[in-house]
């Protein structure tokens, strides 16, 4: 493990969501990061969780702008469900 910091992730994260597939994990170097948007779709802002399935590292981007038409978990129950299913993630701050 590299013990990366939040800032190390911000440096490599693509601005375009389509390019997450080709982004190498700053922690372990595996190719392809996952992401999920959360929030209040009505106002177009929320937060975005980004993680690596290989090493289970994750970062949480607050105040993320939610693009049109993207899958965004707004419902509190759905958010809790997602968090339960991904409780193995290790959040980097
Ligand atoms: Zn990784």
Q: With 80 as the cut, is the pLDDT of residue 42 above it? A: no
Ligand 1 centroid–CA 28 distance in Å is 4
Strand residue runs (E) in the chain: 34-40, 45-51, 57-65, 72-73, 90-91
What's the whole-number average pLDDT of the chain?
A: 93
Angle at 63 between CA 41 and CA 5, to 5 degrees: 135
How is residue 71 written in tokens?
């899958």
Please check the confidence at residue 88 and state whether its pLDDT lies above 80: yes
Going from the Cα of 31 to the center of ligand 1, the distance in angstroms, rounded, reads 8
Instruction: Give percent of the chain above pLDDT 90.
Output: 82
List CB-based neighbours of ion ligand 1 within 5 Å.
25, 27-28, 30, 52, 54-55
Query: Can you give the pTM of this predicted structure?
Result: 0.92
Render pLDDT for 18-36 as a digit per residue (tens, 0 to 9): 999 999 999 999 999 999 9
Is the per-residue pLDDT at 1 higher than 60? no
User: Once rounded to an integer, what is the mean pLDDT over residues 68-83?
Assistant: 93
Compute the distance from residue 68 Cα to the ligand 1 centre, in Å. Answer: 28
- How far, in Å, is the centroid of ligand 1 from the Cα of 56? 6
Nearest to 60 by CA among 32, 41, 39, 75: 39
């Amino acid at each position: 493990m590299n013990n990366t910091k939040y800032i190390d992730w911000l440096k490599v994260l693509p601005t375009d969501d389509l390019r997450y597939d080709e982004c190498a994990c700053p922690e372990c170097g595996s190719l392809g990061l996952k992401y999920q948007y959360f929030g209040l779709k009505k106002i177009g802002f929320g937060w975005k969780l980004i993680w690596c399935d290989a090493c289970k590292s994750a970062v949480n981007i607050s105040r993320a702008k939610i693009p049109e038409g993207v899958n965004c978990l707004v419902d509190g129950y759905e958010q809790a469900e997602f968090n339960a299913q991904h409780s193995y993630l290790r959040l980097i701050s």
